[in-house]
Amino acid sequence: MQQEVLKVRLETELANLTTDLKKIATLHPSTGDWVARFSTDEIGNADENVVADTTEDWDTNRALLAQLEIRYRNITRALDKFNEGTYGVCEISGEPIEPERLDANPAARTNLANRDREAELPL
């Protein structure tokens, strides 16, 4: 698949992902990290069940945020690679990433031979 098509797919996914992240978190401008929002609107003088529900929602959002933030970072990294001219190169071996792997996951950081080691790479 053509690299320009993959770039458009990444940009579209990043826009959608950013919209989803903004529903549950706030982007910290100095660190670039997303922080789960804790809504205090309903707590005030609320009974303990409302407080428990609010806390449970926050815990759920934090877990979801962890997954979304990893994808967000991988997509932004892939888009940066387009600008640097290194898109499609395995971060472990330096060899090209197979077109079918990039088609399945345009934000892939490794080729098929090293995909099991992708989790070892720093976020």
Tokens of residue 107, six digits? 């934000």
What integer pLDDT is reported at residue 114 of this predicted model?
A: 97
H or E element, residue 112: none
CA distance 54 to 68: 21
In degrees to the nearest 10, what's the CA dihedral of 15, 77, 5, 94?
Answer: -170
Residue 43 pLDDT exceeds 80: no
Counting every residue, how long is the chain?
A: 123
H or E element, residue 53: helix 48-84
Tens digits of residue pLDDT in 75-114: 999 999 999 999 999 999 999 999 999 999 999 999 999 9
CA distance 118 to 123: 10
Output the CA torsion sign for 86, 11, 60, 58. Answer: positive
Structural domains of the chain ordered from first start: 3-120 (1.20.120.910)
Task: For the beta carbon of residue 77, count every other beta carbon within 10 angstroms.
Answer: 16
pTM: 0.79
